[in-house]
Structure 1
Amino acid sequence: MWRRLLWLFLLLPLVSVPLRAEDQLIRIGVLSHRGYQATYDAWSPTATYLSRVIPGHEFEVVPLDFPEVDPAVKFGQVDFILVNPGIYVNLEVRYRISRIATLNNLAGGHVNNVFGGVIFTRSDRRDINTLDDLKGKSLMAVDVTSLGGFQMAWREMRTRGLDPYRDSSSFSFGGIHDEVVRAVRDGRVDVGTVRTDILERMAIAHEINLEDFKVINPKVNPGFLLNRSTRLYPEWPFSKVLHTSNELAQKVAVALLNMPSSHPAARAGNYAGWTIPLDYQSVHDLFKELQLPPYEYSGRFTLADAIKKYWYWLLIALFFLVFMLLMTTWVSRLNRELKKAKQYLERQYELILNSVADGIIGVDMDGNTTFANRAMTQITGWSLADLIGRNQHQILHHTRADGTSHPADQCPVYATCHDQIPRYVDDDVFWKKDGSCFPVEYSSTPIRDEQFKTVGSVVVFRDISDRKRISEEARQHQDDLAHVARLSTMGEMASGIAHEINQPLTAIATNAHACIRMLESGHSETERVIDVMERIGAQAARAGEIIRHLRQFVKKEQPELSQIDVNEVINEVITLLRTEIRRAGVKVVLDLEDSIGMVLALHVQIDQVILNLARNAIEAMDEVPEGARVLSITTRNEPEHYVRVSISDTGTGLDPAVADQLFNPFVTTKPNGMGLGLSISQGIIEAHKGRIFVESGEQRGVRFVFLLPTSEEEIQNHE
């Protein structure tokens, strides 16, 4: 550190020279084989020295990694280049650079203008002593283009029949010399190779201890005192790039050759000045022997050499020619087969189209019919001549089922053509040629051409007249079954209802006789007679209300829907069940929300559902002590416009064996039950777009819950 500070102090006058505006910037590219910072610290003083001795020019150092050297010279990013002799030889051939001086290297107090490579390992590796021992060991070099850090050692190994790529257990590059030394020292690799003077420089800098390393294949030369394992080659040349003028190159060469060996700039770079350019033939010989660029192919290039070098390209070309011949033959045969297949497919297409029982028509972007199958003509009565080329909407789809006009801009078929979205319509009408309509379900799917552009749509429809008729018959059968169930329920409740009616009739008769006696006595008071007559009227109204509820429940309902208040329906059912509730000793708890939503439904069917669930709850509490029999009915408005009705009891609960099948027909927990009540209730609720399910009670018993949607008018009023 103190030596660097001394050099910087000595160079301070040089650095302090200001750059004049007219000075030309000259860039010196330097191979950064020990890292960017180390390269900049070592060679910046040399650039400063040249700036001082060559007026009108300002020199700066550009550190270059191994892969950066070639593009820097190729694209004129530097004016001078300082690299190892191996890279110089390639640059000389490729880009015609010229050496103007050779470095006098300084290491350990010795000045040399030649250098070599060092193959080394740790001193404690007793199994590695000669080059032959390198086989099967891990090896690290500096870079594939590093002369002293790889190529020199490769030449020595080659003379012993060794190939670092093939014979090493692993082979890698460290990028800089110091990294290779550290990798060997730390035991990450077995063997390393660097240029001469690297080990000595790192030892002087106290980064390593030379005694920790052992040189393999050592060579001795009285005039070269550094550790080495290879032959010697000339040191790094300082070269000018092609675009640099000869006049400037001459000035730089003179300045370098005149630099004293003890100059601070030389000391900073660990060298002892410069000498005239040496002969680099030995480097050429090394590259020829290793067949490295620019001597990849030495000697006469024969046809055998071409085949040997480019055999895979020749093989690929031959394979390609054979492949093209086979493909041409195959394509010709395919064309013939495609023509036959096209004709066959056209026949098959027509056969399949006409064999489908559903009607099929094709529609273009303007809504005109492009094709139709046989079923289409049979169902509608329209012939192909009537359909092809004519607007399908005006023929088939012009009017709705209620007789109102169906605008073309609302036609799903048109919409599919324009937004390319498939559509399915489950209930609509098409019109026949005779002017009658029939119910259909149909799908409209876009048709695309080879470029995936929509060119129309295909419509597949089915006549659902029979399905709707069967559905109507099933609904009628369901209504009949529900009616029979209500009659059966009334039969079971007959005695209780008769008792309910008998009470007001008895009261009417008693009060009527009392009124007659008062009138016959001749001294009755008018007010007392009026009071008795009012009692008779109240009892008559009570009996009439019971009879009205009874008649409404047992009548066969009409299919018209009406808006009903679920709370009123619940009160009507409780009136019908009052005798049965009293006889069973059941306490009724009603928790009915006042502002409950109106439901669009069949009044008598909702009556039946509530009655079925309430009677089931009463019967489920037969085995419970009388004080604990509670029937709770709750109504609430639910989110998303639903009414929730809950009917719960305090009975013994459900049998797990039938819990999952509770709503299936003929499944019952009663000894004499038919198992139809819950099944009918489920059918009624689902027909009203609702849902029914069962929940376990909070402590005991069962809670049946059903949800019904509120009517559209009610929704609009709330909104």
Structure 2
Amino acid sequence: MLCARSSFPNISDSANIAQRESRIMTTRPLYRWFYLCIVLLLALPSGLFANGVSSSQEQVRIGVLAKRGEEKTYARWDATAIYLGQKLPGYHFEILPLDFDEIHAAVENRRVEFVLANSAFYVDLEVRYGVSRLATLKNRHGEDSFTVFAGTIIARADRSDIRTLGDLRGKHFTAVDERSFGGFHMAWRELSEAGIDPYRDFSQLDMAGTHDAVVYRVLDRLADAGTVRSDTLERMTREGNIDLAQLRVLAPRSNPNFPFLHSTRLYPEWPFARVRGVSDALAQQVAIALLEMPEESEVARISDTRGWTIPHEYQPVHDCLKALRISPYQDYGQVSTWGAIRRLWRWALFGAILLTFGTLSTLFLMRLNRKLTDSRAALASAHQGLEDQVARRTRELEVSNRQLTQEITEHQRAEAALSEERTKLELITSNLGAGFAVISRDYRTLMANKVIKDIFGEVEGQTCYQCYNQRDSVCPDCGVRKIFEEGLEFSTHEQCGYDAQGKEIWSQIIATPLRDESGEVRAAIEVVVPITERKRAEQELRNALQEAEEARERVDNIVKSVINGLIVTDISGTIISINRVASEMLNVSGEQVIGTKAEELFSVHGLTQEFSAFLETAKMDSISWEFELPAKEAGSVKVYQAWASAMRNQQGGVTGRVVVILDVTKDRELTRLKDSFISMAAHELHTPLTAIIGYSELLLEAEQNDSPIGEHRKDFLQEILDKGMFLSRMVDELLDVSRIESGQTTPLQLRAANLFELLEKTVNRYRQFSPGHRFVLKGSGAEQSCPQIDAERIVQVLENLFGNAIKYSPGGGDVEVSLSHSDGNCLVSVKDAGIGMTEEEVARVFDRFYRSENVDPTVRGLGLGMCIARQIITSHGGQIWVESRPEEGTKVSFTLPMEQSRQHE
């Protein structure tokens, strides 16, 4: 439908408002309480779960222009009302959604104490009913906030015939409402300046009721073009309701400090205003509470804002309404008779004076011309004329006096109103928790509140950079400079300055322009928020985080350096840490398994249930669990033992599990070898004992029965002696092993001895013992070597080496024995041409009870010889090592120092 030009309504439906008020506490939608619960949870310590409004609380209503409908208004602003109730415990705040037709009646009839509406409604209410602004809304956009907004004129992107404002002539245009500032008035002003009258030049002009409805009508081709508030397109795109690529913005403007798509000038955001009659104390408390609302608070997030700021200058809104000649400026430009008199009375007075002067001059000339003929008549006439002039002049002066008195009265009223506003401003700024100052264009402080003076002393009349930073020039990052030189509408930054005592102090500086009626920036407003404590807390936090990081690194290094596997899980069994040893044991990547269930580490090995049961038992006590996993070498396994214990916090609560995994493969192998050794030792002991017992029984029987044994008696005794000596050597070896296990050194009887002669005697004895092997002895110039040694112990080592060379060379061959000097040591080497050993066997040749699996089982031995040999050589201060390859023989070498200490004597 076509809309006729109109101004804001002066009369609204009071019945609708009363009906809306009656259902505020009774019939609100259920989903609205979802938002309220978030804020109510924050208020638990304050007891806000009490039912209803306390009888001691005064109810305060906030009328809100419901531009997107009643329910969305509740959802957005109820949290703010609850926030104000928390800040002002003596009051209970309620939101009263009002449409365009209801807001005037609500203010006029005092049904609300505060009002939140668009900027045009505020200007109209200010002029008509004397409402006054307390704060300006900071609109949220991501991490930024904006206190200005604009209008956006849109058309479908596929309409090639609509690209400029001039193309809208004769088109169907839709807006939000005739009384919507962002949804119609801003665009109307731009269209008017482009030569387009919406009521005359459009084929059809209709109102959709809401901003979203305007966008949908344009997209659905129900209108050719439309206008909405500046952030509507971005919000609907973010909500997923529209595709922004389907729309075109007409006459787009750009502003580096305003990111939204817009086509019009920028105007200040919605103000929060008080209605005339509300007490100054309540208004002051509400203003302070709004200004103190944190930007990232839950209340600000629910209202889709970043809180509130000091009230802006709304002169641009006045200029817009004047240009459109709509309420309250519908009569703007028309001059009344009384107005003409007020404007031109000085010129009228000046004209009257001129007229009087001309008349007097004329009369004076007439009097001179008639003086000779009728002096008396002329005198009488002049006297009568003078009386008439005096009377007329008196009347004119009375009129002038009345006008002057009226002007003086109006001027006094204006000064009283200005004084009242100044008092209110000083009262508000003095109770702010931040500093407040007005800075002139030459950077001098015109006014400062108590907070500024307490910190920086008396600053009025001084430059801001001298007072705050003790500088001789403007600060490089000064927000006031950006306001003056770059034309910014808002600037904020942090800076380090000095207080009156020269102490360093950190502040957050917020600067906004202060404009005169023409919109020219005359000064700047600075809000100074002390943040020294916050900076100190941030530094302490950084230090604490650094210390925590260093502690974590130390713990990580400790965990990584642990030689056993280590797995740490949370209470649910999820892995939060695993060291390198455990990763290698389980053949997994530590980075990949973090965040997975610990049971999954064992699932590939089929041990999931066993590990889960192990962890479950560990909830009560520390336990162990032994399991086997395939080793890297094909066909072999590794035996592991896991220990688990609960990880507890300072209160004793279980927060997770710590699992330590030990590789016990060698321990189990040593146990197996010990068991094998016991069996073998029993066999080795049994054979000579049987012989000793047998020969002893024969000798005893012969002695008892006088049986002749003759020449066999000596053989029997020799056999008993040999078997006894064999048992004695075996017992000595076991005692040596016992000393090794207990950490004791082998006792030595050190004497100077010719090592070559000792080798030669031992070699000669073994040449007779094993004629199938050819022993070769080489001196290499070391025949006279006489180190301090225990000869018996060295012979024990040589016998073990020669015996091994014979045992592992079953086919005979050469056994090369050499003696040489090397770096102050005697070097002895025994090399055979036997079956040799693998690298794995060489690595274990000095282990207790170890015997190669490739050894002929008929070859006797306990697996202790090489272990004892190493202990004897190291006790002499020397070293022993083995070099061997399969089928290439084995070479065993050891060193003995020429200068032997006497610690073992």
Q: Structure 1 length as normaliser, TM-score?
A: 0.41
Relative contact order, CA 8 A, sep 6+: which one is greater? 1
